[in-house]
Each structure stands twice: as C-alpha cells, then as structure tokens.
Structure 1
Amino acid sequence: MISRFILVFSLIFQTFGVWAQDSIPVNTRTRTYFSPTENFVSQLYDNPAINYYAHTFSISEIQIGWKQQNANKAILPQLGSEVSNFSFNAFSYMPLKANSKVWGSAYFKKGRKEKVEWNEASDYLMVYPYVVADSIGGEMDFEEYYFAGGYAQEHERLTWGIYGNYRALIEYRKIDPRPKNIVSDLRASIGISVKLNRQYLAGIALHAGKYKQTNDLKFFSELGSAVTYNLSGLGMDYVRFRRGATSIYYDGERYGASIEILPRNKTGLSGAFGYEKFSFEKIISDLNDLPLNELKQNEMKAELAYTSFQSVHQWGIRTKASYQKRKGIESLIGSASTNVYEKTGEAEQLSVKRTDITLSGVYGRDKNQRLTWYVSPRAGFNSFEMEYLDPARVMKLEYLSGGMNFFASAGYKKSAFQLTLDGEYRNNSTADLQLTEINKEQIALAGVYAAYDNLSTNNWTTNIELRWNYTLPKNRGIFIKLNWQHDSYKSDLHRETLQAHCGFVF
C-alpha cells in the first residue's frame, strides 16, 4: 500500500511538471515560493477562487523525509513526549491554460508516538476532552494519508474555484491496552471572486466537511484489564461507565463561510473574515449506540494586512485574530434495562474559550538572484479558559509573546542556499487552576495537573532551517533540507526536534 501510494503520486506530480514547463529558473521559483512575502497573508487563500492569484509561476515538489522529536516529559501527556516518523510529501501549483490554474498536495506519514498518557483517542486537540483514557497508556503506531486538490478559472470580471481534501488516519497499539482508531476527515470549499476595479478583488466562499472517528479499545491479558475512564473535562468522568464503554465513535460535521478583499498585485490593503461551526457526538457503539456527549464549536478568524511587495524594498504589516468557543453537553442516562441504556435528558457542563491575536511585520530586499533577505518581527496575545460547571472547576491561562524570523537566500552558479532562523519567547501572565469536590477515585486529575504545570510556565522556542537547491537539466532541481528546533520550559521541560528531507523540484 505504501509503495503504491508513493509510486502513483510520483507519476502524477511528474506529469504536472511536464505540463507546467515554466521558463522561470527553478531556483528562482523555489526562493520566491518559500520567501516570507509570498506567504505573508494566508487566510485569503481559503477561498479557492482567490487562490488563483496566490502565485504567478508554476512549481511542483516531491520529497521524502524523516522526523524525530524527543522530550524529557510531555508538554501535554495526552499527545506523548516522543514522535518519530517517515513521510512522503508532494505538492503542485500551476497554470493549465491562460485563464485557469490547478493545485494539489498529498502526503503519507508512518511512525510512532511514545509515552501517550490519559488518552486512547486520535486527533486529541479536535475531540478533547471527550476521550476514553486509562492510567497506563504507552506508544501508539500510526499511518496517515492526505489528498487535496483545487481548480480555479478566471473570466472577464469573475473567478470561480473549488477545492477539497481528505485525510485518513489509523492508530493502534500492540500491547494492552490495545486501541484501534480509524479517522476519516473530508472537507470541501467553493468560492467566487469579483473584480471591483483594476486593482482590487472581493470574494466569498462556502466551506463544509464531514468527520468520523471510531475507537475500539481491547484488553487481552489474562491478569485482567486496567480501569478505563470516559472523560468529560478537568478530571471529571462518567463513573457508571468505568471499566466499560470502550467501543465508541465520533460523528461530526462542519460548515462555514468567508469573505475576502485583496489587491491583485499584492500591493495594498487586504482583509479576510471567516466563520466555522464544528460539532460532533461521542457515541458508545457497544451500548446500543448510546450518545454520551455532544460538542459544539464556533470559531471566528480575521486577517488584515497592508503589503508593498513590488519594489526592491519589500515590506508589510499584518494582524491576525481568532476566537473559538466550545460548548460541551453531557447526556443524562437512565437505568439500564437488559444492558440497554436510554438517554433521558442533557445538561451543558463544559465551556472552553480560546483567543489568539498576533501583530507581525516583514521587511526585506529582493534585488537580484544572488542575495535575498527578510526580517519578520511579531508579537502576540493568547488566552485559554476551560470551565466545568458542576462541580465548579476552571483552568485559565494567558500569554504574551514576542518573536523574530530571519530569512536569507543566496545563489552561486547552479546552487542556491536558504537559511531560516526563528525565535519566540512566551511569557505566562495569568495562570489559575481551581478544582472543587476532589475525591481519591478521580486519578484522571493527574493528566490535568501535568498539563497545567507545563502550560503555566514561561517558554521559548528556537528554530533553524537550512535548504540547498541544485539546478538540473530541463529546468528541474534537487534539494536537501535540514531542520532543528529546541523548546524549553521553565518547568524543567525541554524538547528537541530534528527533521531531514530531500527531493525534486520542477
């Protein structure tokens, strides 16, 4: 299966490269595509009709890679402290005709997560806190597949576009406790844009998706099984479903809309606003499809920028903001009759609010192919608050952050070198954890305490990336990319991440 995936997409993207036949030198296209200015505004391109104006050149890339991440302890126990994986990635963006463009991407990952605790589900940050958990945990093997593609066509005043992606994930463990999780995540968008005048465009897009995850947790040891918990937030769980209800599935959907305005030549004021509603039910399949929890999430995000990328001196300023609110509803379950439970009502018990605001800028010079450089400072505010209503429990965290990114690209004969240096410091300005009605049976609180101890401390991140590109005949190229990242927390937590990739560009 893996070899077939790699072979099929290698052939597809090589075919794309034959179609494209861009006359711009491959090293120039690579330098431009990965420069901070080309990707300075990003939310606009959630509209597939706007994505028609993302790039003025074609580029395709196929790469294989490796990642190794190790920490002395997990930042979030539910995600594990170590990750290693092999990956295959491919993407392409190109004109088909004078007035149409197509783009696509695909990846495959195979690897392992180590020391996962208090979580036996996949996509934890999507379905939290409604997961089945236990105190043992362990490693999780995984395979992940992703496919995406879009098409846009420009007419005299109107441009239309469509886009879709699909992600499939399987995670499992070969020793007790033995989860087997299967994820299916499908998303699609359709959009249009209209030319307001010679410079500006306005667009609107609709987005929808379907999410499904199945979990089947089993024990085969003759010595017995560990206690399992159906968690509901901040250490709470359904007491009556301990040691059972381990075959579950999540049934979810999403829909939303966005509006955009931008200059066609990337010089001027641009803005984007989007709204998305995501909801799912957690259902116990081995208890006659009993709906145990429902989560409803509303998210708004906005991006406003002014850019000037047409002259030798290129600069821009941007602000991004997002607000997410999650509402958790628990089912009220009546007495069992012949092991059949009935939902008799529901109660809203959980509230999660998250706010992220970032102000950033970029300045640099792109005078010739020999040397290009940019500096990109940024500052941000982040807030997270989770509240459980009865019994009253709350976790609140706030951060102020500042960072700087430096990008440089230099060419010499057939070679081109890219260097990226990035650093960020996050200062915890507010940290509060209040828990009431604690009893000795609520051992799942261990995961809450561990996460709070790490997230409530100051931390900093350093990242270095090097990339070497070499031009081959027929305007194609090869590359090698190395990346190192260090994360350090004042809670005596540190994490190292190493990545290496190589591949072809055409």
Structure 2
Amino acid sequence: MMRKELNIVFLVIFVPAFLSSVWAEKKDTKKEGTPVLQRITENSSVYTSFFSLPYNNPVMKYRMYDYTLNEVSVGGDYRNESLPIVVQMGDGFRYGFVDVNSFINKRKSSMWGKASYRNGIQKNVKWNETSDYLLLYPYVMGDTLGGDFKSERYYFGGGYTAESGRFIWGVDASYSATLGYRQVDPRPRNVTGELDFTLGAALTEVGYYRVGLSVNAFKYKQKNDIKFYNEQGNVTLYHFTGMGMDYYRFRGEKKETYYKGHRFGGSLNLLPETKSGFTVNVSFDNFRFEKIISSLNELPMAKVDEYTWKAEVGYKQKNDNRFWGMKTNVSNNHRKGTENLFGDPANDIYPLIASAQQYSSKQAEYTLSGFYESGASANFGWAVCPNVGFHQVSVRYIYPMRTLDNDRLNSSAMVRIWKQIRRALLRVDGQVRYSASLNSQLQLSDIVDKKTLTPLYCNYRFLSTDYIFLQLALRSDIAINRRCALYVTAYWQRGWYTDKVYTDGISAVIGVAF
C-alpha cells in the first residue's frame, strides 16, 4: 500500500513539474535564440560552479546560470568493493534512476526544479538494518547476518527567486521518501520522509555585491521495523550506541523503532553581482533527532544533538575568455549522543530516571582550491582544478572509555577538455584523488563483548590507511536542432587501498537537453 501511495504522489508532482518547466521554457524570451550546445557549455563551466556554499540560499541562484536549460535522463549506477569500506553500508550497490532537472532564467526571475526516482539494491549490508546510516549514526539497529537491501527513493523539489527593485526574495523546498526492505530474514521494512524548506532575501547593488540572508528548516522521520519468519530461531538484534557499544538491556526482541528529527539553520552571503570578485559565505545549523523503541510503549532510547558550521571565502575573475579563481573552505561538525536510563517497568511503562551524554564525534576540515579555465576559441576549451585539504576526526565514548582519532591530508586534481565539432559537443573529465593518513589511534577499555567490535575494527582499518582514486567521465551531446540535444554520459572510477583492497564504480546515462 505504501509503495502505491508513493507512486501516486510522485506522478502527481512529477508530471505537472515537468510540463510546467517545458511551458515556462517556451515562454521565456531571454536569449531564446542561443544554440543548445552553447547553453550546455556555459552552464556547466567550472567558472560558473566554482563557488558552492552561497547557492544553498535560493536568492543567490538568481541569474546563477546565464541560460535556461532543462534535462531529462535515465541511467544506472554500479559500485563494488572487494571489502566493505563502511561495513554498515555494504560492499556496493546497483541502482537505476530517472531524473528531471530544470533551470529557467527569465528577465526578472529564476526558477528551478528537480524530480527523480531511484530503484536498486545495496549489497551485503551488515551490522545495520536502518536506512540513512550516515544521518542517524551511531543509533542504528543491526545484526550479524544482514544481506542485500532493496530500496526505492522518490524526490521532488524546486525553487523560485525574483527581483523587485534592489530587493531579491527566494524560496526553495523539497520532499523525498524512501522505502527500504529485504525479503529474507532478517526482514527490515523502513519508510523514511524528509521535508526541507529554505527562505532567503538579499539586497542588491551594495557596491558591486549582493548581500543575502537565509533561514532553513528540515524535518525527518523513519519507521524502522524488522520481522523474522524463520521458526528455527533468530539472530540477535543490537541497538548500537557507538564505538562498538550497544544498549544491552534492549537486545534481541525489540524490533520496532522509529526516528523523528528536525534541523534549523541559516546563512549569510556576500556574492559579486557580475560573478567576478570576492565572496564570503557562512552557514550554521543544528540537527536533532530522537530514537524511539515503539515496541516498548514509545520508549525514548537516545537522542542526538549536532552542530555544523561552514565558511567559504574566495575570489574568481574573468578576463576575456580566460577564467581563474581561488577559495578556501572550512567546516566544523560536533555530534553529541545522549542515552536515557530507565527503571523497572510498571504497566509496560519504563520510567525515565537519568540521561548521560556518552557519545561525541568531532570533525573539522580545511580545504584550499583553485581553478584555471580557458575557452579562447568558439569550439574548444579546457580547465584544471587542484585541491588540497586537511581533515580531522575525533570520536569519544565516555564509559567505558573508548577513543578514535584520525588526521588526513587530502589532495586532488581535475582536468577537463571539451571540443565542439559541428553539431556534436564532446567533454572529458579526468581526476586523481589521494588521501594520506597522517595519524591514527584507536584505544579501547573494558572489552566485554568482542563480537560487537567487529564493525568498528573493519571501519577503522580503512580510516587509518592511505588510498588513491582515479576517475574518468565522458559526455557527448548531439544537437537535433538549435533548441534540443541528445546526450550520453559514462563514468568510471577505480580506488586502491592497502592490502590489495579496491573499489570499482561505473555509471551510464542517456538523456535529452532543451
């Protein structure tokens, strides 16, 4: 029943969104005679996308791209790991998807939209039966058996921003829903929902800059239930609390849980009106969620309080058909986990007697990036983008005391070359990424149950080692006429870790741009 309802919701939103984007594109008069290959080239340039943080504010998307461009595509993603890098997320996946993306640039306004459907399998997931692991860790439910995890995800969202004198206002909203399940024991059935809303305002012509402010609200929920049909016995279910620990009192039979959470945040932005010049952007948000065991009369087992702030400072310049820029990004994240303690139940109600903050995870990242892009001729261009950064991770569990620390030096370089030959546009992106572990330490005390430490040891093995990734992406656009083009993209990735562990990833997409 839930799958049928999600399909109905998706079709109700998807079809009108797609038709309205086509209608709006036809009504648009801004640069309507520009050939589609030129619109694709300029909207996807490194110069346009180099700054990232300001565009979380919808008013900064006003004239973000010079041209209206819509894309409809279908494709597939595949990834395989010889050993799971994060054991709770499995050792690979295969997905098929359909995407619709639209950006419409009008004279006094801009609007955008996205709708997508994804269906596939996450392979060999162990020690985790909860969807959205990276959002909800460490308070997930898991077991030693696991297996392939099937999922369907629906997403739709969009935004609008308009200018009125020196004032710009904008709004962006999205909703996504996921259905995850397995048809053999253990049989999780997870239903998630995410609602995201951002409101922004900006003042233009402050010197040569636009000054913006945004506020954001996010709501999350997940129903996470597990069933067993095997009459000969079941594996033990764990309610994990981090660093190889679990809530021992509720092991085994408590198979029905749900999560509810919300996030509030905001940003301040300074962006050049001409796209060339300095930018300064700062964002902050607070995310909180609670894990509740519904099979224990809605028992609130644990909660998370997380604070994240980010900053981006940069400069970019356009000189004729040559572009260059530099920026630095800083981010800091602190996640605190609190466990609730309960007395003996009375009438199936567990009285809350105390709370203790047991888990803490801190992450900090500092990155310096640059780019140089050349499009000196009408049908040829290239770009290079180097990047270097430092990443720190510090995880603590208070009692029994457990600590994990890791410092990494990350670096990457991307090279892009594109060439237009008559009605065809060819683009090649190549990238190499290298990450070195500078310092890693894992300290454990009072080990009672070695079995629950298995995922911690597996993940730490790859957190503490060096790795290198090679990536290659190809895209070919063939213009049907001045307004429409067919395109094909292909992506390949190969990663190497120590001990001959490797990862492979490929994807292929076919679509139409207009």
**Counterpart check, 1:374 vs 2:386:** no
**Residue 497 (structure 2) aligns with:** 489
2:123 equivalent among 104, 114, 118? 114
Q: Which amino acid aligns with 1:113?
A: Q
Alpha-carbon shift at residue 310 of structure 1 (Å): 4.7
Question: Which whole-Å CA distance do the structure 1 matches of 2:294 and 2:435 have between them?
Answer: 42
Contact kept in structure 1, 2:35 and 2:482, CA below 8 Å: no
- Partner in structure 1 of residue 273 of structure 2: 264
In 1, Cα distance between the equivalents of 2:43 and 2:204? 25
Asked if residue 26 in structure 1 is aligned to residue 36 in structure 2, the reply is: yes
Task: Find the partner of 2:202 among 193, 210, 214.
Answer: 193
> Counterpart of 1:124?
133
Pairs within 5 Å for 1:94-493: 94-96=104-106, 98-197=107-206, 199-439=208-448, 441-493=449-501
Give the drift of 1:402.
1.3
Task: After superposition, give the CA deviation of every residue in 1:150-200 in whole Å (9 maximum; x if it has no partner).
Answer: 010112211110111111111100000000111101110111111243521
Identity %: 31
How far is 1:309 from its partner? Answer: 2.6
How much does 1:341 deviate? Answer: 1.6
Q: TM-score, normalised by structure 1?
A: 0.97
1:246 offset after TM fit, Å?
1.6
Are the equivalent residues in 2 in contact too, given 1:13–1:90 (CA < 8 A)?
A: no
Give secondary structure in 1 for the equivalent of 2:489: strand
**Partner Cα separation in structure 1 for residue 35 and residue 478 of structure 2:** 11
Change (3 A) 1:315 1:503: same
For 1:227 and 1:151, locate their aligned partners in 2 and report how far apart those are by CA, in whole Å.
49
Q: Which residue number in structure 2 is paired with residue 61 of structure 1?
A: 71
SS of alignment partner, residue 447 of structure 2: coil
Q: Distance in 2 between matches of 1:474 and 1:158?
A: 35
Contact 2:141–2:240 (8 Å) recurs in 1: yes
The one-letter amino acid paired with 1:69 is R
Q: Equivalents in 2 of 1:46, 1:424: separation in Å?
A: 26
- Are residue 85 (structure 1) and residue 105 (structure 2) matched? no
DSSP 3-state at the match of 1:446 = helix
Task: Answer whether contact 2:337 2:358 (CA < 8 A) is retained.
Answer: yes
Q: Distance in 2 between matches of 1:474 and 1:409?
A: 19
2: CA distance between counterparts of 1:93 and 1:456?
A: 42
Which segment is superposed worse, 139-148 or 361-370? 361-370
Higher mean alpha-carbon deviation, 489-498 vs 351-360, is at 489-498
Contact kept? 2:408, 2:436, Cα under 8 Å = yes
C-alpha distance 235-407 of structure 1, shift in aligned 2 (>3 A): same
CA distance in 2, matches of 1:478, 1:198: 42
Q: Secondary structure at the match of 2:446?
A: coil
The normalised TM-score by structure 2 is 0.95
TM-aligned CA distance change 1:138 to 1:12, over 3 Å: farther
SS at match of 2:249: helix
Per the TM alignment, residue 25 of structure 1 is displaced from its structure 2 partner at its CA by 1.2
Equivalent position amino acid for 2:70 in 1: S
Q: Which amino acid aligns with 2:35?
A: P
Report the CA distance shift for 1:474/1:33 in structure 2 as closer, same or farther (over 3 A): closer
List per-residue Cα deviations over 1:267-299 (Å, max 9, x = no partner). Answer: 110010000000000001111100000100000
Other structure's SS at 1:226 match: coil
Give the secondary-structure state (helix, strand or coil) at the position aligned to 1:37. Answer: helix
- SS of the counterpart of 2:400? coil
Deviation at 1:368, TM superposition (A): 2.9
Give the match's secondary structure for 2:358. strand
Q: Which amino acid aligns with 1:25?
A: P
Q: Post-superposition shift, 1:13?
A: 4.0
* Farther off after superposition, 265-274 or 310-319: 310-319
Answering whether residue 49 of structure 2 is matched by residue 39 of structure 1, we say yes
Q: Residues 491, 165 of structure 1: CA spacing in aligned structure 2 closer, same or farther, 3 A cutoff? A: farther
**Conserved? CA contact 1:405–1:420, under 8 Å:** yes
Which consecutive residues of structure 1, in runs of 5 or more, have no partner in the other structure? none
SS in 2 for 1:53: coil
Q: Return closer, same or farther for 1:9/1:492 CA change in 2, 3 Å cut-off.
A: farther
AA paired with 1:75?
Answer: I
Contact kept in structure 2, 1:402 and 1:425, CA below 8 Å: yes
Q: Contact 2:260–2:291 (CA<8 Å) still a contact in 1?
A: yes
Structure 2: any 5+ residue segments left out of the alignment?
A: none
Q: Does 1:48 align with 2:66?
A: no
SS where residue 444 of structure 1 aligns? helix
Cα separation, partners in 2 of 1:487 and 1:383, compared to 1, 3 Å: same
CA distance in 1: counterparts of 2:26 and 2:93, whole angstroms:
36
The answer to whether the Cα contact below 8 Å between 1:397 and 1:456 also exists between their aligned partners in 2 is yes
CA shift for structure 1 position 19: 3.3
Deviation track 1:361-411 (CA, whole Å, cap 9, x = no partner) reads: 000211233101100111011111110001000111110011100011100
Q: Evaluate the alpha carbon distance shift between residue 295 and residue 340 of structure 1 in structure 2; reply closer, same or farther with a 3 A threshold.
A: same
Q: Secondary structure at the match of 1:367?
A: strand
C-alpha displacement of 1:58: 0.7
CA distance in 2, matches of 1:260, 1:7: 34
* Amino acid of the structure 2 residue aligned with 1:154: E
User: Do the aligned residues in 2 keep the contact of 1:35 with 1:407 (CA within 8 Å)?
Assistant: no
Q: How many residues align?
A: 504
Kept after mapping to 2: 8 A contact 1:16/1:92: no
Give the aligned residue type for 2:469.
T
